[in-house]
Amino acid sequence: MQFNLSHFPTEIAILNLPGMILLPRGHLPIHLTEDKYKLLIEDALKSERYVGVVQTDSRAEGEKLFRSGCLGKITTFSEGDDGDYFVILSGVCRFNLLASQETSKPYLIHSVSYETFSFDVYEERENEIEREKLLDLVKAYFLSSDLTANWDEIKLASNERLISSLTLLCPFDPQEKQALLESPTLTERTQMMTALLEIAFLRNSQASWFKH
């Protein structure tokens, strides 16, 4: 499905949670307990179901945000018996934050620009060489982390889907996740993920060596 940038909202409610990013065509499951975020979801469900996902920069004081995030659309919503919300967001297009908007809402609303990432609305072709490197590193990382995986499913998954899943699964820090988000193209994002997995694999190997 293709999108026209003019159809995207230029002012969006921001779901800002530490260490949580959404990538184009990725899926982000979220469990929400805070009232302000529950209200954000309720308001989004009354309109076009769009939400902006931006990480909070833990290096800064207060609720300072990273400069870029991703527009998500609520594709699944349910409410638990205790009133918690369970939501799945589907990634649409990345954006840069512009000005924050003064409102009476308890959550943040920002004006945004999609121009830098306008190519997100088109699916990119995969680089086979980069894919082989990525799969090799995924296997090495999983083995070093004692993680099990369905390799048949992994081999069938696109790079884009695989990177989105790894971003949720792997314990990357917020700056590393932001580097993935801001990697312009799928090839560059694949290279970034490969580099991060190499670092994580080396950390696991060193930790295992010291244990012995």
Cα separation, 52 vs 112, in Å, equals 9
The pLDDT tens digits of the residues spanning 67-117 come to 999 999 999 999 999 999 999 999 999 999 999 999 999 999 999 999 999
Which of 12-16, 126-130, 149-153: highest mean pLDDT?
Answer: 12-16
Domain range annotation of the chain: 5-121, 128-211
134 C-beta neighbours (distance < 10 Å), count:
21
Mean pLDDT of 167-191: 91
Residue whose entry in the numeric block shows the structure tokens 């920002």: 110
The predicted structure's pLDDT at residue 60: 65
Give the residue, 150 or 183, on which the prediction is more confident: 183
Give the residue, 202 or 192, on which the prediction is more confident: 192
The predicted structure's pLDDT at residue 115: 93
The predicted structure's pLDDT at residue 207: 58
Q: Give me the DSSP letters along 111-141.
A: EEE-GGGGGGGSPPPP-HHHHHHHHHHHHHH
Strands 68-79 and 50-53: what pairing? antiparallel
**pTM score, two decimals?**
0.88
Buried b or exposed e, range 74-99, using 16+ CB within 10 angstroms: beeeeeeeeeebebebbbbbbbebee
The predicted structure's pLDDT at residue 2: 53
- CATH number given to 5-121: 2.30.130.40
Give the residue, 193 or 155, on which the prediction is more confident: 193
